[in-house]
Amino acid sequence: VNELFRNTLSPAQWAVLAAVPPAILALYFLKLKRAPLEVPSTYLWRKSIEDLRVNSLWQRLRQSLLLLLQLLVVTLAILAVLRPGWQGTKLTGGKLIFLVDNSASMSTRDGDGDGGADSESRLVAARKHVAGLIDQMDNSMSAMIVSFAGEPAVVQPFTNNRRLLRERLATIEPTVASTDLKGALELASGLASPAKTQANGEATDAAPADAEKAEADVRPEEPATLFIFSDGRFGDVKDFALGNLDPVYVPIGSDQTHNLAITALETRRSESDAGKLQAFVQAANYSDKPADAVVELRRGERLVDARKLTIPAGEITGATFPIGEANAEDEGVLEARLSSEALAISKDQLKVDDIAYAAINDSQASRVLLVTSGNVAVEQALVTGRAGRLGDVTVELPSFLDSNSYETRAAAGTYDLIIYDRCTPQAAPRSNTVYIGVLPPGKAWRPSPSPQPLTPNPSLSVPQIIDWNRSHPLLANVELGNFDIVESLLLTPPAGATALVEASEGPIVAVAPRDTYEDVVLGFPILVEIDGALQRNTDWINRLSFPTFWLNTLEYFAARQTVGDRSLHPGEAIELRPLSPATESIIVTSPSGKAETLRRRGEQPFVYRLTDELGVYRVTEGGRETRRFAVNLFDPAESDVRVRIDETPEEAEQALVASIKIGDLDIAASAGATPARHELWRALLIAALCLLVVEWWIYHRRVYL
Amino acid sequence: MPLTQDLLPPDLARRLQRLELVTRKVFRGRMKGERRSAKKGQSVEFADFRNYVAGDDLRALDWNLYARLDKLIVKLFLEEEDLHFYTLIDASPSMAFGEPTKLEYAKRLAAALGFIGLIRADRVRVETLGGERSPVMRGRRGVPRLLEFLEKVEPTENVSLEEGVRKFCLRNSGKGVVVLITDLMDKQGYEAAMRYLVAQRVDTYVIQVLSGAEIDPDVAGDLRLVDCEDGDMAEVTISAPLIARYKETLATFTAGAQDYCNRRGMNYLLTSTERPVEELMTTWLRKRGLVR
């Protein structure tokens, strides 16, 4: 009976409901105060009644057809209140947490429908699942809804108000962000376990009443059921203990969903002609059939080029397009899109990643400052033909570091790159830096247990280079095994640093992030001053890799600033440096035209965080558009919209939906994936309504059977 | 007089002038009438010869035949006589229903029949079951008096059909035509009343008048039906089977009455108040032979 019916009323409410049919009967008997009607004679009537009385009880019931109909209507209503249904999963436990993935891949339209644009998106399917589960909740259950993409958000804290849950559920909108399940899990477990509830209750101060209710609802010993509605497009979640959460993974979507995506769009100066720009487009085919994708490239409103890329199944293909003058002028927006015909043919189901944007900024030479007391080798390396096009190199003597003009520019971030050759500034500047033969100021690069702040690092004589980081862009195409170094510092890079060149004793070249900048430290000077004369400290300057390294350095730090910024991921914050140190506020306009004015304190750069839309954002400084940056999905995990399938060989023939892994726990996809219960109450209520209409008609038209 | 006009519109009167009342039985009129009777009598119109028997009026002997044949032959002449025409109206409260009321309808019918009788020099008398009776009227001059009397007829207190008819028969011993206009709705039954009329050996016409609401009732809901005559109450819940059953009962009732009357040589006629009097007079009663 529990399977078939679900109680929704309290005993008191039941008592009231149970009183309704007797009340109707009573009303019918009370109604025996019949309307008097004078007739010429009751003679014939009496005879007729006597005839009828001979008949059965059924005759009498037929006379009160209206009573029967009313009782039937009430019966249907009571049945509807009992909520008969079948095939539902019985919800256990008093607390439910619904984690709804609203990342970019959930916009895939592979749900119910013809597979075209009218199909239901995965998010809608997930919402339906959740709604089905909400419908099954008893009064004693409370549920919480959390949506997760880039940032998890509590859509609705714990409540047993099903209507409120449904209303809030409908507010979950698709985003373009990537999936971050761990954050959602942390949020959910924080809200579900009482120890952390206090803190989170304060955090959700937007709805203090709800937070209070959540606290009241939470009972420490009660485990919560955690429903995860997602297409599984995320990595395993490590280092997370579910505790008393009982996870259920409901995969949404199909493994047969095809998708073409643009996974990269970059602009760079042409190798052959620095005045021209090239765009590099990478398209991926996430399907099991090769696809022909026509990539259209538009600059502003103008179609620049279109090219057909043949992408084998499951692979990525790139192409380079010339896109004309490096000068941005009014055409600072580059847009690459897959043509709609190609998308239709390959049954592309996700629209978000069919368009990519790139921002082209006015080509202004990046400014590079070389502070040296004289270093011909580096100066020469920085003024080669190609290097010269990448940046303006200014050479200053170390005494310049003490001047006011240096301090102002360093604090304002005027330079894109500052190279300190055997000299150290008082404080780290607001720019990327390269230190040659010295350590940056501050403690970060010193050995940590250092008793004194400026203990020199141990020096190495004739260090032997044993390895270098070939994958780092700074060392692209650089071969370092063929030169010697006389003397070098042994570096102790700070946390997060990447060792670029390792000697047998340890790293001698390393790069480490500092705020939003990066510091490169070469532990060995190129030239050393011995007895007033410059002498070589290394014969690297004779190798081809030397100018290549400096070219890489310029490209890495300076050139990318000029043409186009690296594309941001949705939700990623960007630091915007003003052109003029005096600028107090800038305006950032989103692709949809939403403008936001940013202000800053002191010399800090502006930080813009509302990168929730895909497209090109425009930065206006002093009434002039000074800069653009693009936000793109560019996330293979989101673009590959096929539901993850277990590829372990023994299960290959079944092609099971892969389980997700949280901590040490494998959570298998819940079987059937339709936990929603089929409810009859709507049909019952509609039937009751129809009966009511029939009853009204009978009453009104005096129709008697 | 508008009411008189209502009872007997001039138009109807004009059409009725061509009609006369007929009786199938042989009755002795008290006075000479305009009616040629089946009885042989003393008109100027020759009818037949027959042999003289002792006691015959010698004035009827055909002396010429006696001279020629030496036999006593009596000449018979057609008799012209008047007719006793009684209209008996049921004025019980139940007759006050319908649109027009059954009583009103009965009065119009009585006026029309009486008019025919009067213009044919029959003896016309109208009585109600309650005992009101008009004087005997004769001749065209009686028409206003007839209408005047009919106008005054109002529903009286309830008198049973049997009682009313019995008193009528006691009061009027003369033979003739009796038209009983009633709804026959008497819980004691109509049979006893009919037997009195049979015993009276009058030519009886029973015209049962029912209102439209009685023939096809348009009622609904749960009702307490109150009998207007004896206050009897019947609680009914109107339903389609009940209505059907009622109609069935009514049909049985009227069929029974017709059968009863026909078996006893009486004419029975069922009419609704919705049927115009004129139509009833000129077609129905003509077919039934009451008028010609």
pLDDT number for residue B24: 60
The angle, 0 to 180 degrees and rounded to 10, between the axes of the packed helices A65-82 and A20-30 is 170
Q: Is A52 in CB contact (< 8 Å) with chain B?
A: yes
Per-residue three-class SS string for A232-271: CCCCCECCCCCCCEEEEEEECCCCCCEEEEEEEEEEEECC
- Residue A122 C-alpha, separation from nearest chain B C-alpha, in angstroms: 58
Residue A265's contacts (CB-CB under 8 Å, 6 or more residues apart) are A279, A280, A281, A282, A334, A336, A356, A357, A358, A567, A630, A632, A634
With bands split at pLDDT 50, 70 and 90, how would you rate the model's confidence at B257? very high
- Residue A128 C-alpha, separation from nearest chain B C-alpha, in angstroms: 49
- Residue A699 C-alpha, separation from nearest chain B C-alpha, in angstroms: 9
With bands split at pLDDT 50, 70 and 90, how would you rate the model's confidence at B68? very high
With bands split at pLDDT 50, 70 and 90, how would you rate the model's confidence at B252? very high
Q: What gap in Å lies between CA A593 and CA A596, rounded to an integer? A: 10
Say which residue the tokens 């348009």 belong to. Answer: B218
Quick check: A331 and A350 in contact, CB under 8 A?
no
A483-503 tens-digit pLDDT: 888 888 888 888 888 888 888
Average pLDDT over residues A41-59: 71
Q: What gap in Å lies between CA B264 and CA B258, rounded to an integer? A: 10
**Could you tell me which chain B residue has the CA closest to the CA of A35?**
B223
- Residue A68 C-alpha, separation from nearest chain B C-alpha, in angstroms: 14
pLDDT number for residue A495: 84
Q: Regarding predicted confidence, which is higher, B39 or A337?
A: A337
pLDDT number for residue A219: 44
With bands split at pLDDT 50, 70 and 90, how would you rate the model's confidence at A216? very low
- Three-state SS for A530? strand
Q: Is A702 in CB contact (< 8 Å) with chain B?
A: yes
pLDDT at residue A218 is higher than 60: no
ipTM: 0.78
Q: Is B232 in CB contact (< 8 Å) with chain A?
A: yes
Q: Is A27 in CB contact (< 8 Å) with chain B?
A: no
Least confident of A220-224, A380-384, A588-592: A220-224
With bands split at pLDDT 50, 70 and 90, how would you rate the model's confidence at A382? confident
**Could you tell me which chain A residue has the CA closest to the CA of B243?**
A48
A678-688 tens-digit pLDDT: 678 888 899 99
Are the beta carbons of B220 and A702 separated by less than 8 Å? Answer: yes
pLDDT at residue B216 is higher than 70: yes
A80-97 tens-digit pLDDT: 888 777 765 566 667 888
Q: Is A41 in CB contact (< 8 Å) with chain B?
A: yes
Average pLDDT over residues A640-668: 64
Are the beta carbons of A48 and B240 separated by less than 8 Å? Answer: no
Residues in B closer than 8 angstroms to A49, CB to CB, are: 234, 236, 242
Q: Regarding predicted confidence, which is higher, A521 or A344?
A: A521
Average pLDDT over residues B33-41: 60
Residue A319's contacts (CB-CB under 8 Å, 6 or more residues apart) are A280, A281, A283, A295, A307, A309
pLDDT at residue B81 is higher than 70: no
pLDDT number for residue B34: 59
B198-215 tens-digit pLDDT: 888 788 889 999 998 888
pLDDT at residue A478 is higher than 80: yes
- Residue A691 C-alpha, separation from nearest chain B C-alpha, in angstroms: 19
A534-581 tens-digit pLDDT: 888 888 888 888 888 888 888 787 655 554 566 788 888 887 777 776
Average pLDDT over residues B62-82: 83
pLDDT number for residue A202: 42
Q: Regarding predicted confidence, which is higher, A364 or A668?
A: A668
- Reading the block at residue B226, the tokens are 């109150």
Q: Regarding predicted confidence, which is higher, A153 or A454?
A: A153
pLDDT number for residue A625: 78
Q: Taking CB atoms and an 8 Å cut-off, how many pairs form between chains A and B?
A: 104
Residue A18's contacts (CB-CB under 8 Å, 6 or more residues apart) are none
pLDDT number for residue B259: 94
With bands split at pLDDT 50, 70 and 90, how would you rate the model's confidence at A206? very low
**Could you tell me which chain B residue has the CA closest to the CA of A42?**
B227
pLDDT number for residue A656: 59
Residue A48 has its nearest CB partner, among B224, B227, B242, at B242
Quick check: B150 and B132 in contact, CB under 8 A?
no
Average pLDDT over residues A475-490: 84
pLDDT number for residue A337: 85
Average pLDDT over residues A307-328: 80
Closest to B250 (Cα-Cα) out of A39, A561, A643: A39
pLDDT number for residue A651: 44
With bands split at pLDDT 50, 70 and 90, how would you rate the model's confidence at A47? confident
Tell me the β-bridge partners of B50: B74
Average pLDDT over residues B41-69: 84
Whole-number mean pLDDT of chain A?
A: 78
Name the percent of chain A lying above pLDDT 90: 3
**Could you tell me which chain B residue has the CA closest to the CA of A702?**
B220
Q: Is A46 in CB contact (< 8 Å) with chain B?
A: yes
Residue B50's contacts (CB-CB under 8 Å, 6 or more residues apart) are B73, B74, B76
pLDDT number for residue A60: 58
pLDDT number for residue A127: 86
B121-176 tens-digit pLDDT: 788 899 998 888 888 888 888 888 999 899 888 888 888 889 889 988 888 876 78
Residues in B closer than 8 angstroms to A46, CB to CB, are: 232, 234
Are the beta carbons of B224 and A37 separated by less than 8 Å? Answer: yes
Q: Is the peptide bond before B93 cis (omega within 30 degrees of 0)?
A: no
Are the beta carbons of A45 and B185 separated by less than 8 Å? Answer: no
Residue B225 has its nearest CB partner, among A42, A59, A705, at A42
Residues in A closer than 8 angstroms to B222, CB to CB, are: 31-32, 34-35
pLDDT number for residue B207: 92
pLDDT number for residue B180: 92
pLDDT at residue A606 is higher than 80: yes
pLDDT number for residue A411: 78
